[in-house]
Amino acid sequence: MQFITFMAVNKSYNIHFSCKTQLLFNSKFEDFVKQQHEKGTNVCYFVDKNVWEAHPSKFLNIEKIVMIEGNENSKNFDNLEVYIQQLLELNVDKNHLLIGVGGGIVSDILGFVGSCYKRGIPFGLFPTTVLSSVDASIGGKNGLNFGAIKNVIGTIAQPEFIAYDLSFLKSLKKEDFNDGFAEIIKYGCIANPAILEFLEFFHFEYESFSEEKLIALFKSCIDIKCSIIEEDPFDKGTRKILNFGHTLGHAIESEYKISHGKAVAIGMMFACFISENNNTSISSLKIKSLLNQYFLPTSFSFDVDIMMQKITHDKKMNSNFIDFIVLEKLGKANIQKLSFESLRPLLIEFLDAKNN
């Protein structure tokens, strides 16, 4: 068992508080369900419908379930109203524990509901994708979409625990399994190049991955994210480096409806392009090779005008500037303040370079 403690200060009221999130590796979901039943814990599960259909035997003895469609369309206020109504019909009160079983969609929805329903109710997570295991479940961020704008509404609320049952990964499609490695590569780029070496040496095949080595990889990524969050719990400074590749990535994901991992992979290549333009020692060749190794794209044709419009809603925008994440070298990321209009020629240049 491993513990992470986040310390923060609410400046308005000068209230000091801490939130302890337990990381439970090598967990078994069925054992957890049985233990909660034996203890008499009131539990309501938010479950990705695809996970429920792939693992029906894991959910046989569960009474209270809110089913979630595992796509971005689930993350809006219309569906939020449906989830709240279901909780009321199931008589879920503040003495309940909410458990999310799914990927980033479920952790976004459950985190928001957990932070708001009856002014806050404890929740825990069983991530079922590589992406949610190393990123979406960690750190307490959640988000709902507003129209076509991704994650523009949300809170920061830490789960009581995050439990890892790798048997859930075995039902993923190969494409979805590989998708999560974009975020793992990101951690190597911004903080620990040893992760990149690890990925090269131990190529994680969907059909035959080592659970022991995958857990070791997860722990390395989680350590990085948690150390950054402990320093900047409310996303005011250093935490922004976790958005490496996400400025263009989120815009592409929103407009062209491709997966988060694929979009971030393209976004990282754009960030490397800007980093190289800064005359740093960074070379995108190693990153491009790793992305190819995990079947992630390194180029994409997009409409520059549409991307510029999408980026205006990026959470890192401040007046006419954006805090853009670049690499000084592999393993060290910086925040570079770019004028919004300077992005247009860079996007055009990036497109031209990839098409030549």
**CATH number of the domain located at residue range(s) 2-172 in this protein:** 3.40.50.1970
Long-range pairs, 225-232, Cβ under 8 A, ≥24: 225/134, 225/135, 225/138, 225/139, 225/187, 226/4, 226/6, 226/138, 226/139, 228/191, 229/6, 229/138, 229/139, 229/140, 230/4, 230/5, 230/6, 230/7
Sign of the CA dihedral with 45 first, then 47, 51, and 54 last: positive
Fold of 173-356: Dehydroquinate synthase-like, alpha domain (1.20.1090)
Percent of the chain with pLDDT over 70: 94
Instruction: Centre a 10 Å sphere on the Cβ of residue 259 and count the other Cβ atoms it contains.
Output: 18
Residue 273, both tokens: 């392009």
Sequence ranges of the domains in the chain: 2-172, 173-356
pLDDT digits 0-9 by tens, 9-68: 333 333 334 457 899 999 999 999 999 999 999 999 999 999 999 999 999 989 999 999
In this structure, what DSSP letter does residue 190 have? H
Instruction: Centre a 10 Å sphere on the Cβ of residue 234 and count the other Cβ atoms it contains.
Output: 13
Q: Is 258 exposed, middle or buried (0-12, 13-18, 19+ CB in 10 A)?
A: middle
Q: Using alpha carbons, list the distances in angstroms from residue 87 to 44, 65, 82.
A: 8, 9, 9
CB 68 within 8 A of CB 132: no
Residue 322, both tokens: 């954006």
In this structure, what DSSP letter does residue 132 have? I
First to last CA, the chain: 51
Per-residue pLDDT of the chain (356 residues; tens, 9 = 90+): 344 443 333 333 333 344 578 999 999 999 999 999 999 999 999 999 999 999 999 999 899 999 999 898 999 999 999 999 999 999 999 999 999 999 999 999 999 999 999 999 999 999 999 999 999 888 888 999 998 788 889 998 999 999 999 999 988 999 999 999 999 999 999 999 999 999 988 888 877 788 899 999 999 999 999 899 888 877 788 999 999 999 999 999 989 999 999 999 999 999 999 999 887 777 789 999 999 999 999 999 999 999 999 998 877 777 789 999 999 999 999 999 999 999 999 999 999 887 55
CB 312 within 8 A of CB 302: no
Query: Which residues does residue 44 pair with via DSSP β-bridges, in sequence order?
Result: 98
